[in-house]
Amino acid sequence: MGMKGRQIVERAGLDVDKLLNLLNKAYCDEWLAYYQYWVGAKIAEGVLAGPIAAEMMEHAKEELEHAGKLAGRISQLDGKPILNPADWYKECNCEYLIPSDPQAAVLLRQNIASERCAIEVYENLLEFIDGKDPVTEDIIIDILADEVEHEDDLEQLAKAVPGEVSDGKECSKKR
Ligand SMILES: [Fe+2]
Ligand SMILES: [Fe+2]
Separation of CA 166 and ligand 2 centre (Å): 16
Please tell me the distance between residue 104's alpha carbon and the centre of ligand 2 in angstroms. 17
* Protein fold of 3-160: Ferritin (1.20.1260)
pLDDT tens per residue across all 175 residues of the chain? 678 889 999 999 999 999 999 999 999 999 999 999 999 999 999 989 999 999 999 999 999 999 999 999 999 999 999 999 999 999 999 999 999 999 999 999 999 999 999 999 999 999 999 999 999 999 999 999 999 999 999 999 999 887 655 454 555 677 5
Distance 15 CA to ligand 2 centre (A): 27
174 to each of 39, 69, 97, 98, how far by Cα in Å?
A: 21, 23, 11, 14
For the chain, which residues make up each domain, given as ranges?
3-160
Find the 147 Cα to ligand 1 centroid distance in Å: 6
Residues with CB under 5 A from ligand 1 (ion): 30, 63, 66
